[in-house]
Structure formats: structure tokens, C-alpha cells
Structure 1
Amino acid sequence: MSVKISATAHYVPERIVTNDDLARVMDTNDEWIQKHTGIKTRHFAMDDENTSDLATKVGEELLQKSGLSAEQIDLIIVSTITPDSLTPATANLVQRKLNAKNAFSFDISSACAGFVFGLSTAEKFMRSGRYQHAIVISAETNSKMMDFQDRTSAVFFGDGAGGVILSNSDQANDDFYVDEKINTAANGTEYIHSGRINPIKEIKSTNFPSLDAFYQDGRKVFEFATGIVPEQMKTILEKNHLTETIDYVIPHQANLRIIEQLSQKLDLPMEKFVVNVVDYGNTSSAGLAMALDQLQQKHPEPKTVLLTGFGAGLDFGSIIIKL
């Protein structure tokens, strides 16, 4: 039995936010942002558009492209660190909005590595033979978790969603999965955090839960992303004899400077790297899924692709797929 990617899709909100827009609310400017991040614009979800809405748009497009009905979906996984709520899961909301009444659904919280973790998880479910079709979506409304007085973080992020449908196949050549390597660097739990909830100190009527905004130690994250992560990428490429012949690389769209560093450390030309961070900003785990759909639209021919995600946790993972 094989597992194939039967459809890809992505969606971004209509509202485009430029660097000049951000400069009106914080001490920054277009020149600084482009120099340090390569980002020109990003999209923000506004007017009550939440993470489940973005994910549902992707789900609808996936169903339309694949020719499947919502009732044929067995599993829905949503990777997100900006859920509509802690419970119910955003995936549950997507299941309801799609009317995928036969699917079970749950969220994965692995930050910017979420799409790789979600794809890996769904592949294991599908390989069991008990399920025929699974939807994996990464969706983020990062804008709602930003501290817009923190210019070291807020300028990076945008909102968006992307995903795939995995389907069983009896054709060996259809199989999308080549190999994976997934890790957690446990010493990095303080480098990135968002939505922390403090325990109560006493029982009193004024207790009410509150969340903290997104925070990252930019220098530590950069060192991690350009140090440990490319070593993992090299290892999996070497293991599969693809060091020089990999067709495309889709890294986490953290910022353009990190992607340029990965290109140098892997000794692969930037032409092999799929990039959307310039126009979409850092969309956390959604960036990989969005870039995968963009690549598929632009280059529908058969290809081998390395997907690498890395983020809070510190979680990082690489998966090689065939399309």
C-alpha cells in the first residue's frame, strides 16, 4: 500500500500589511526590516477571521482539487500555535465547518515545525491501512499574538494557511514518502514562547486567565536555525544520496537571511529554495505548506523535495517527499 499527496492548497487573508504600516505603530522602518529579514509585506487576518476560518478555506480548496467529498475524509490534523481556543481543537472546528462528519480530528502544537510533524503523524495513520484520506493543514493567525511594541518580533510575522490531502493508493510509484528525521532540542524551551498561562496563587473572585504575547530571543533562534538545523538537513540528504540532486528545498520561512544561510551551508543554489517569506512574512508552520502548494502550482512535474521546519520547543524536523 502506498500513500500519495492527492492535493495541495493554501490561503492568505486579503489584508496586506506593509513595512510602512508597521512603522506607523512602532519604532521601525522599511529599510531596517528588509535589511534584517528580507520581508516586504505580510497578510493579517482581521474582521473576525480566525485560524479555523483560514484552515477551512484550505480544506475547501483541497476537497475541490482532489474531487473528494467531505464525508470521505477520515482524519483532520491542524498544526497551529494560534488556535481559536485551547479547547475545542481548531481541527474540530474545521471538521464541523467542512461537514466532514466521518473524520476524527485533533491539533498539533509544534510551532514552526508543525507541518512536518503533522505530515509525519498523518503518514503513520495512513500506513496502518485503516484510513483512506487524511487532511493535514497548518494555519496561523500570528497577528493576534503579537506585542506591537516589540519590534524585534512583530515585524516578522504574518497570517496564512496551507495543507495537503493524503490518500491511499495501490500504485507503488504514487508513494510520497521517502524519509524523515525529527528531533527536539530540549535546552531551548525559553528561546521562543507564546500564550503562557500562570498558575493561580490563591483562590479569589478576581482570578481570570490571561496569555502572554509572542516572544523570541532572535539571536539564539538564528544560531539554532543556522547551526543545528542544517546539520540535520545534510544528514538526511546524505543518507538518501540526494546531497546534490535534490530538486527543491522548502525550509521554514523564518526570514530570508536564515534561508540564505541554509543555502550556503548546504552548498545548494538559492534557485532550489522555495521562498514566500518576502511577501507573506513568517507564517510559522503554515509557511512550508503554503510554499509546497506554490511549488506544485509552478512546477507540477515530478520532483523530490526536502521540507524542513524548526521552531519553539525547540522542535525541528526534515522530511523528504516525492510529488
Structure 2
Amino acid sequence: MPGTKIIASAHYVPENVVTNDDLVKIMDTSDAWIQAHTGIKTRHMSLQGEDTSDLATAAAKKALAQTHLDASDIDAIIVTTFTPDGLSPSTAALVQRNLNAEGAWAYDLATACSGFIFGLSTADKFIRSGSYRNILLISAEVNSKMMDFSDRTSTVFFGDAAAAYILTSAEEGIIIDEEMHTIGNSEVVHSGRVAPLTQLSVDNYPKMDAFAQVGRDVFSEVTTLIPQHIVKFLAQNDLTPHDIDYFIPHQANLRLIEFIADALQQPITKFSTNITKYGNTSSAGIAIGLDELRQQQQLTGKKVLLTGFGAGFTYGSILLSF
């Protein structure tokens, strides 16, 4: 049975860098508070009209440029996003058009900050089926367009970014095992909800809510579930956290990543982090982390654990061996 390997990866962020001091100008917060509670120093925001499909397309072009493939060689495009251009057409369909990838079918996958985990798992299954050879997997978010900038407890976390991967069939794939979970909860984290009608009226018009989260509940849920999930998942593969060379968790909050590292009794140096410069980029954070790791480290013979968690509530891990 064929496996899946990565032949290219790239990430893209908007040009506009928003510092903590920039946020101080529009809300009651401070650089010291933001860094102390989140570890974030800067984030990139799409302030010149770039939407999610634009970021996704830019990242995809960078990844394709690293290969001998043309867009016409792509069989399928999967975009994981919490912040699509719209409900329809899918953001993936817009990327397909932008790339002129005429032979590819495309769709979006919405599991919030766990998106790259669920997307990689899905792409792997298509490749393993033997019916598809080359898949473009993109995690892209324009979180800024969904923010309520009067809500300082949420807005300070988020940035905009995209990362793209070219996945192809190989005799020996890099995915060793996976495990995903969903716990239905619509209140702890939510975004983009559209209320149903209560009466017929010419004044009816769809209204979408901004991103919102109950920070304390999120922190409690993650710190309770994720370390236990990681230990149990690794044990199923006769491994312990000590056997993992690199961890790439969701880039939610540097303090949360530090908590997970401490709970696993692992040095923070084994954890790939990009949140300090990019902020929480939702599904793109893990994808960027793996791309940066591929650029900076020789991964041959290394084990890498990807762990996502996000609204839904969704969480899961994928174990890679290079």
C-alpha cells in the first residue's frame, strides 16, 4: 500500500506587522500584559484586502515552485480554514481557479485550529487509496476579519497566515499513526454563527457574529486533555515523550505550550514555536511550524509529533517519522 511523503512546503504572511503597541492604541491593554500572558510580540494582519484564498494561493505558489510539478499535476486541493472567504464557493475552489489547477477537485475542511491535523489525515487517505497521487494541502486563516476589536481578551492573540504542502505517493510514507477526537461544544469557542429566522420580514438579512472564546475554559480543557492524550497516543505506539525529537503543537499561547512541555517533562527546546512573531494563526500554526522545522533541521531519522486542538472541540495528533 502506498504511503504519503512531503515533497514541498511553504508559508506566507501578509506584509502588515501589528505590534502589541499598535493594539494598545485602540484597546485597553499593554505590551507587558500581552507578552506576560501570551508570549506574543507581533502578528501579521491582512490590512490591504487580502482574503483567505489570497493567502492560500500565495503559499501554494511558493510550494509549487519548489517542485517539478505544474498546477495541472495536482489531483486535489484541500484547504483547512476557520475563516473562509465565504460559505460558498469554497476557499479551495477559489485557490483552484487562481492556480489554474484544472485537473484538481477542491473543498474546504473546517475543524478550526486542529485543521492541519485533520487535513493531513484526510489527504493521506486519498493518497493511500491509490486513486490520487499529488495533493495540495493548505491551512490558511485571515483571523483578523472575524475579530471584535473591542474584545481585548481574544483579539490580542490572533494573526493571519497560510502554509501549503505538496503531498505525493511514496513506497514508504512518513505518517506512522494518528488519532483524532471531537467533543461537541458550541459555547467555549465560536465564530461566524448566523442566527435562524424567527419571523418573515423584509428587514431580514444574515448577520454573522465575531470570534469569541471563554479563555479560562479553553485553558482548562486543553491542559486537562492534551498532555494525557499525547502520553496515551504515544504509548499505543510503544513510545514515550522522551522518544520524540520534535513536538509541534497548535500555536495557541506560548504559556500553554510551556505548560504542555512541563506536563510531558520535556524541554521547551523540543517544541517548535512561531507564536511569538505570528500570533495564533489557527490551523496555519502547526503547518508553519513543520515548514520551519523542515527548513531549519535535518529530519532524516527523526520523529515529529503534531498535536492540534481547537473549537469544536476538536483535538488530535499525527506521528511522523522522517
* TM above 0.5: yes
1:168 aligns with 2:169: yes
- The structural deviation recorded for 1:132 is 0.7
CA distance in 2, matches of 1:299, 1:241: 25
The match for 1:202 is 199
Mapped contact 2:248–2:290 kept (Cα < 8 A): yes
CA drift of 1:241 comes to 3.0
Deviations 1:148-203 (A, max 9, x none): 1001000000000112111012x33xx111001100122x3210000110011122
The letter of the residue matching 2:94 is L
**Which AA in structure 2 matches 1:227?**
T
Please give the alpha-carbon distance, in whole angstroms, between the structure 2 residues aligned to 1:7 and 1:307: 17
Instruction: Tell me, yes or no, if structure 1 residue 307 matches structure 2 residue 306.
Output: yes
> 1:67: Cα distance to partner?
1.9
Q: Which amino acid aligns with 2:321?
A: K
8 Å contact kept, 1:79–1:109: yes
The Cα shift of 1:66 comes to 2.1
Matches within 5 A, 1:137-156: 137-156=138-157
List runs of 5+ in structure 2 lacking aligned partners.
none
Map 1:267-282 to 2 at 5 A.
267-282=265-280
1:92-133 C-alpha deviation (Å, 9 max, x unpaired):
000110111000100011000011000001111111000010
Query: Matches of 2:36 and 2:4 in 1, distance apart?
Result: 42
Maintained 8 Å contact 1:181/1:232: no
Aligned partner of 1:285 in structure 2 is 283
Are 1:257 and 2:258 counterparts?
A: no
> Is the 2:3–2:124 contact (alpha carbons within 8 Å) kept by the matching residues of 1?
no
Q: Is 2:114–2:310's contact at 8 Å kept on the other side of the alignment?
A: yes
58-67 or 94-103, which deviates more = 58-67
Moved more, 62-71 or 271-280: 62-71
CA RMSD of aligned residues (A): 0.9
> Counterpart of 1:218?
215
Work out whether residues 192 and 312 of structure 1, in 8 Å CA contact, stay in contact via their aligned partners in 2. yes
Output the CA distance in 1 between the equivalents of 2:114 and 2:4.
Answer: 21
Matched, 1:49 2:50: yes
Q: Which residue of 1 is the match for residue 117 of structure 2?
A: 116
Quick check: 112-121 or 197-206, which moved more? 197-206
- Identity in percent: 53
What are the superposed Cα offsets for residues 215-271 of structure 1, whole Å, 9 maximum, x if unpaired?
000000001111101111111222223311211000000010000000011111101
238-247 or 37-46: which moved more? 238-247
Amino acid at match of 1:117: F
Matched with 2:321 is 322
| d(CA) in 2 for partners of 1:300, 1:208 | 53
Alpha-carbon separation, structure 2, partners of 1:37 and 1:31: 10
* Structure 2 counterparts to residues 93-132 of structure 1, below 5 A: 93-132=94-133
Q: Read off the aligned partner of 1:313 and give its amino acid letter.
A: G
Large movers: runs of 4+ above 6 Å: none
1:276 aligned partner, one-letter code? N
Q: Partner of 1:80 in structure 2?
A: 81
TM-score by structure 1 length? 0.97
- Contact between 1:197 and 1:211, CA under 8 Å: does it hold in 2? yes
Task: State the distance in 2 between where 1:197 and 1:183 align.
Answer: 25
Contact 1:77 1:106 in 2 (8 A): yes
Higher mean C-alpha displacement, 247-256 vs 3-12: 3-12
Residue 26 of structure 1 deviates from its aligned partner by 0.5
Whether contact under 8 Å (2:245, 2:303) holds in the other structure is yes
Query: In 2, are the aligned partners of 1:80 and 1:285 still within 8 Å (CA)?
Result: yes
CA contact (8 A) 2:78 2:107 kept: yes
Report which stretch shifted further, 2-11 or 129-138.
Answer: 2-11
Give 5+ residue unaligned stretches, structure 1: none
CA distance in 1, matches of 2:228, 2:239: 14
* Alpha-carbon distance between aligned partners in 2 of 1:189 and 1:147, rounded to the nearest angstrom: 18
